[in-house]
Amino acid sequence: MWIFLDIDGVLVPEKKFDKPVPQEDYMKFDPECLEKFENVLRKFTEARVVISSSWREIFPFEVIPPLFSSDITARIVGATPLLETTIIHNFQFLRHQEVLEYLRQNQAEGSSWVAVDDIPEHYAPNTPVVVTDPYIGFDDNSAKILTQYLSAFRA
């Protein structure tokens, strides 16, 4: 099973920016959001995480996994591809298309997956998305919903 993870609004809530953020803390996740997300992952050891965030456009992938706890790092397995700029205008739900392309490239079409994102409009209706409040980020409610999705995939 796959988790396609956005970062801003999920592990980096907007509340982080209510006060000035020192430069050395800019690339750090909110500890509470991270703990809640990782605690769900620890219950579902078969789940793999793919970064679907715009962070993949800004930072090399290699800098993202070490931002997670050491027992989770190896489960951050990749990032969704950036689609050709000449065709992206053809897609209403661009991030959803990037997820489908990642699955295709990894011979995982038909696999169970869920996205965690603060912008549900990135995905087609009726797709599995845990929607976070961008100001709060990944919270207890998000953890409950993600747990429900992952539990259903196991069944």
Can you give the CATH number for the domain in which 31 is found? 3.40.50
Half-sphere exposure of 155 (CA within 13 A, CB side): 6
The pLDDT of residue 60 is: 92
pTM (whole model) above 0.85: yes
Number of domains in the chain: 1
Cα three-residue angle 136-119-37, rounded to 5 degrees: 50
pLDDT in tens, 28-87: 899 999 999 999 999 999 999 999 998 888 899 999 999 999 999 999 999 999 866 555
Model confidence over 100-153: pLDDT tens digits?
999 999 999 999 999 999 999 999 999 999 999 999 999 999 999 999 999 999
Structural domain including 147 reads 2-154
HEC-encoded secondary structure of the chain: CEEEECCECCCECHHHHHCCCCHHHCCCCCHHHHHHHHHHHHHCCCCEEEECCCHHHHCCHHHCHHHCCCCCHHHEEEECCCCCCCCHHHCCCHHHHHHHHHHHHCCCCCCCEEEEECCHHHCCCCCCEEECECCCECCHHHHHHHHHHHHHHHC
Joined tokens for residue 113: 């997956």
Diameter over CA atoms, the chain: 45
